[in-house]
Structure formats: C-alpha cells, structure tokens
Amino acid sequence: MRHSDICILTPIKCRPSMVQTVTFPPSMASAKVTDVKRDVFDTSQGELNYLTSDQGVKISDTDNWLKVSDGTHVGPHLLEDQLGREKIMHFDHERIPERVVHARGTGAYGYFKVYDDRASKYTYAPVLTDPSRKTPVFVRFSTVQGSRGSADTVRDVRGFATKFYTQEGNWDIVGNNIPVFFIQESIKFPDFVHAVKPEPNNEVPQGQSAHNNFWDFVGLQPESAHMVMWVMSDRGIPRSFRMMQGFGVNTYTLHKPGGEQFFVKFHWIPELGVHSLVWDEALKISGQDPDFHRKDLYEAIENGAFPKWTLCIQAIPASKEHDFDFDILDATKLWPEELVPLEEIGELVLDRAPEEFFPEVEQVAFCTSNVVPGIGFSDDPLLQGRNFSYLDTQLSRLGVNWQELPINRPICPVLNHQRDGQMRHRITAGTVNYWPNRQEIFPPVPPKQGGYYTYPSKIEGIKERIRGEKFQEHYNQPQLFFNSLAPYEKKHLIDAISFELDHCDDPVVYQTYTKVLNCVDFELAKKVASNIGSIIPDKPGRENRGKSSKSLSQLYYAPKNPTIVERRIAILVADGFNLDEVHAVRSALESADARTFIIGPRRGEIHPSGAGRDAQGIEADHHFEGQRSTLFDALYIPSGQHINQLAKNGRVVQYVREAFGHCKSIGASGIAIAFLRDIVGLPGVEFQHEDSSDVTTSYGVVTTGKLDVKSASTHISRIEHDSKDFMTEFAYVISRHRCYERELDGLTDQVAY
C-alpha cells in the first residue's frame, strides 16, 4: 500500500461547530466489497454447472440413498453411503442453536392407557398391551415452515409428536396431522425444506409456502402431489390442536419373539372431531391473535376440558407386504381403511400445561429411532433416514447429553457406560466405564429378560441407488383423496391452490404445476388454471379412476354424540339488552361446557333494558374492536332496546356479516331478528316472525320471536336437532361446526366481510 493510501487519525482540538471529515481513497472504500466477493459464487454465471460433494467429488445421484435391492423391492439403507450421510448431516447442522428463535410449537403433559390387551396379537410391548398401565406422555404440536415468532393459523403441516415415558424406556411417535409426506426418500429432505423455507435471497415469505421455490420443487417432484393435496385442503388450517388428527406417517413394525412380524401405522383420532378454520378467518386470526392455537390448548386444559384422542393402528402381516398396488413402505402413500381397517387400541389425554415453556416445550427432543421392545423399524426409505437425521439434529441443537434434560429423561433407570460430553449432568461414581469389566457392572440384558429384541430379517441383494417399481406411481392416491372430499372441501382446496400459485410470479412455476394437477383431476386443473392465468388444459393428463375413501373427508370424524365442549360463543350486547335472555342462554350453553363471552361497546359494565344507570348490569369481557368474530365459533344476539345502538355501529354490522361469511352459527331472538334481516342483510336466510315462539333454522341461523326464558335456562341434556326448542336447536347447529351450505349456494359471496 502506498503512503498516500494510509489515513492516520490523530486527536485534534476543535470547536463544537467543527466537522472533521475523513475521506478514504477508492482502493480502501471498496476493499471490503472485494474481500467479500472472494466468497461469492453466482450460480447463474459461468460454466460450472454440475453437482459435487463438499469434497468436490461429482455426484451422479442425489435422489436415492444407497440401499440393498433385489431389483424389484428395496431393503434397508446402507451406512456406507458417504454422500447421503454428508448431505443429511450438513442439513441437520444448518441452524445453529439460537438464544431466542426456535421453530414454533407448544406442548402439554398427559397420559396414555390402552383399553385392553387386543394388540398382544401383534406385539409384546407393554405400553400397547397392558391395560393396568397409565403411561405418562408429553405431546408437542407445531407448525413446520415458520420461525418461533410466526403465527399459529398459517396454512402448514402441523407436527404431532408424542413422547411416551414407558417403564421400558422412552418411545416417540414423531408424526404430523397429515398421514403422508412430500418425499419418498430421506435424502431429499434438505431439498424439500430449502424449497419451502423463505427464499435465500430475501428471507421471504415467513410461515407460508406461497412462493416460487416451493411450487417449483413440488412441480418437478410429482411424488409430492399427494401431500400437496392434503396441505391445500382444510387440513392445513385446523380450528384447534384439539380437533386435529395425528399420524405416525412412517411404517414401523410390531413383533413378538417367535411370532410373525407386522407392519404398522399409528393414528390419533380426536374426540371432538376434525374441524378447520376457513381461509379468510385464518388470515385474520394470524394478525388478531397469532397465539390462537396455543391459547386454545391451554384454556381447555385449565377449564378441565382435557383434549383426548383415540390411538388406532393399521397392521399388515409381513407375508402380505406385496399384496397391494402401492408399496406400503412409501411415505407418500396411505393405507386406505377399506383395505386395512383401523383398530382402536387406547386413549391419549392431555391434562397438564408446562410449568416453564422453554425447558419443557423448547428443549423436548423427539427421535424416530426411540422405540421400546416389541416395536421396530421397517425399510421405509424416509424412516431409515429420519432415524439418522433426528438424533444428529438433537446433538447439534442440544448437545450430546440432551437426553439428560428433565423433559427428555426417561422414568426408568438409565444404566450404561456413556460418559462426559458438554453439559453432562449425571455424576456416576465407580472405577469402571466400559464393558466387559471385571466387576460385571451394567452387563447387556438378554431379550428374555427384557433386552431389546431385533426381529431377524433376511437381507440379500445388490447395493445400489434405486427406488422400487411401485414407488414410481404418484397420482392414484392424490386422485383418491380429491374424489373423497365433500363438495365444500373440494372448493376450499381449489381456492387454496389458486391462492398459493397466484403468489408465484414465474410462469414456468405455475404452468408446470397446472400440468401436475391435470394428472390428478381434469376439472381441478381447469379451475385452478383459469383462476391463476395459466394454460388451461384441453384434455386430462391422466384418467381419474373415480375411486374414493369415505375416511379421507373430515366429515367422517364427526363425534358420535354431538358436542359443543369448549366452543366459544360471543353474545353481542349494548346498553338496553334483555338481561333475562342473556342469563338464560349463557346458563344453557355453559351447562354443555361451552364458553360464553359478553362483547359490548366497552369493556366493563353494560346496562340492561328497564334499569337505571345505577342498577347492576353485566360485565363485558371484551369490546367490539378487542375481540373480533374470527375468535369465536358462534354468535348470539338477544332482544332489547340495545338493537338501536347495534344498528348504528358499523363494526357490529361487519362483525355479524363476517361471522356469516365464515359460515358460523348465529342465534337471535325478538327484535334482534329485524337487525339481522334489515340492517345486517343476511341473504337467502328465512327468519322466524318476531311475535312467534316457534323456532326457525335457515343456513345455520337460528331465530325465535319469543324466547321462553324459563325453558331456555335449563341444562342442555342432549344435543340434537329440535325445531321446537331454541337452545337445543342452537346448540345442535353449533355442534356441526359450520354451515358450509352457505358457500355452496353462493350466499357468502353476497356479503362483504
């Protein structure tokens, strides 16, 4: 460097008004830019356009893990695949441990108990066969794409991971609320996550898959078509964790020494049924209450309405593995219940919230490889890689002694010769830390005495990167799913895909995915293409075989006995409302374990009709701007002079229209009927006469001119359709979750909300 390029700053005395300016020569001003450019590799420039390992070795196949194969069927992954291990391990360590930001999730404690020993024909695992046991569990629910600070109600897959603290050790079911996955091969997981996460150049978008990279990937990876259909359906925006199915996704095995091995899939069926938000509602809740699902879970537990699920299994004898037209080890496929029925095994109950969020919810660590005697692994290619990846990820995130953290620590004795490592908690006294040792401390346990038993399987074949023949078919099950949906569910799916692809500004991306959809269903592809301005296909890319499965629609999981437990009902009032009606309606709804909230023009006391300002009124839980209709499942408007005030309040009018547009139940009595009919202007709805005590239900709107307060205030003993009793009928309509007929008949399109 020349002397003239060197700038030496020396202290000088100057008046306050003096400004000292130091000018760096051009060579120094650009020095850092030049320095950084040394590490910039522009993928769009130059002739170097091929794939290599981190060591520079050119890679011929990055889509298939090296495995054993007989040419038709595939066996287990081979640990010697240095390229697969490098790719997965690098991906596992891409996120450094952060002090604040982790993936968004929430969790709760509870217990699991089997009904009887019916699963003993498959396994000897006591957690699945011993009805005298009550196994403690911790469940963590989560979203996938967004960061820890993202919103609860985004469209996304929901994690549903369960840790069983059994007497034989910890067992984890690391599942989702969707039974299939985007990829067949674990080696593709880094590619999928990179594609769905915010784009690397601008870290956009957060908590959303509506961008070029995600749809580019799934458009070029048709094995993702089935999972895309599920995520774009109502399953992607659940109403509550409590109203969400769970699936183990991967195929495991159950076995007994000397018995036949069975392939198994695990299912969680919610007691309250499977319900979802509508898209406009989900978008608004993301801003109005981004912690909506988390609060919902903890409020239910606090109120004693403990969330419950039934554990079901599907089991296939190993001898029947190849009897299907799909590969049962393919994680992009489900096992239709018509072919493999569900068997109810036991019940999961969540009854306790964490004491402190971080050490419990954030530090809980799940691994697909955590199994107990009687449960084993299949050659599911996704599971084989997850077993490696999940443990590797926990080592990176929490350290080698992650299993010693209180939330991860087993309740049974942990006795081994593992020692030391960062953040070691346990102090082990003694002189030996190896096996064999002269003191015979911690010897291996034979299977007959409870040691883990690996079912013997014959493996022979060629080691190669390959997928089985049945893994090449990608469209039969997406068709099956689409065909199985109710008309309103199909509409929601079409709208969702249209929304997502509308956010893709590269024509190649949305035109490619239109072709994928055309291989699922011709009408589906045409409607989406028309919405997004893509090329409308003139003939199907593939014939729709017309098959369906009733269990793939959410309607299939409606509770056997209608319920409104923990449903949130807003009661809209202003000064001059009918106090007797409000008391009666609240009493009846709360007798069925629903939760009612008074929403008024202000938070605090609202005065009833016929009472002076000094008379005792009722406390409003929230004001109209504080809690919008999106945060409730239903509305009720009592009669009274307050209707005049409500009619002049644009927020209240919009409040009701929004609830109607979201297909929610609405109840009204007396003069409130005129408010709905003449001021709110609900289209296509029939109302009861204001001077009649009869009850009318029309498109989920329940009205009566004269509410029998004495009758209404009684407990709701049974929720059923009853056109004569207002409260019974209103509760029944709420229990149906939504009135989607409004959408199908075009009524919601006529209301601005």
Residue 382: closest CA among 94, 82, 70, 174: 174
Q: Which of 678, 683, 593, 581 is nearest to 637 (CA)?
A: 581
Any catalytic annotation for residue 176? Answer: yes
Return the residue matching tokens 């957060």: 206
Tell me whether residue 49 is one of the annotated catalytic residues.
Answer: no
On whether the CB atoms of residues 148 and 103 are closer than 8 A, the answer is yes
Q: Is 390 annotated as a binding residue?
A: yes
Q: Cβ(683)–Cβ(713) under 8 Å?
A: no
Would you state the structure tokens that stand for residue 304, as one six-digit string? 């004693």
Smallest Cα–Cα separation from 489: which of 213, 232, 169? 232
Candidates 76, 236, 218; CA nearest to 156 is 236
Give the Cβ contact number of residue 3 at 10 Å: 5
Q: Tell me the residue type at 65.
A: W
Report how far residue 148's alpha carbon sits from residue 156's, in angstroms, rounded to the nearest whole number: 14
Residue that the structure tokens 């699936």 belong to: 247
Structure tokens that stand for 129 in this block: 């066969």
Q: Are strands 74-77 and 66-69 parallel, antiparallel or unpaired?
A: antiparallel
The rounded distance, in Å, linking the Cα atoms of 339 and 11 is 85
User: What span, in angstroms and rounded, lies between the C-alpha atoms of 49 and 58?
Assistant: 11
The total of other beta-carbon atoms located within 10 Å of residue 583's CB is: 16
Measured between alpha carbons, how far is 115 from 117 in angstroms, rounded to an integer? 7
Distances (CA, A) of 492 to 206, 412, 657, 740: 22, 47, 20, 11
How is residue 115 annotated by DSSP? Answer: S
Q: Is the dihedral of CA 258, 264, 270, 273 positive or negative?
A: negative
CB-based contacts of 193, cutoff 8 Å, min separation 6: 91
CA–CA separation, 225 vs 525, rounded Å?
13
In single-letter form, the type of residue at position 56 comes to: G
Sign of the dihedral defined by the CA atoms of residues 421, 424, 426, 431, in that order? positive
| Strand order, beta sheet including 634-637 | 622-623, 595-600, 568-572, 634-637, 665-669, 701-704, 695-698
Residue 703 DSSP SS3: strand
Torsion 23-27-28-31 (CA) sign: positive
Dihedral through CA 715, CA 718, CA 724, CA 727, nearest 10? Answer: 40
> Is the previous residue joined to 222 through a cis bond, with omega within 30 degrees of 0?
no
Residue pair 299/243 in contact (Cβ under 8 Å)? The answer is: no
- DSSP 8-state symbol, 75: E
For residue 509, the surrounding DSSP H or E stretch is helix 507-518
Catalytic residue among 102, 226, 293, 737: 102
Q: Up-side HSE of residue 225: CA atoms within 13 Å toward CB? A: 26
State how beta strands 701-704 and 665-669 pair: parallel
* Helical (H) or strand (E) element with 152: none
Q: Which of 176, 177, 544, 578 is catalytic?
A: 176
Strands 604-606, 595-600: pairing kind: unpaired
Amino acid present at 539: K
- SS3 call for 672: helix
Catalytic residues: 102, 176
The binding site comprises 390
Annotated binding site for heme: 390
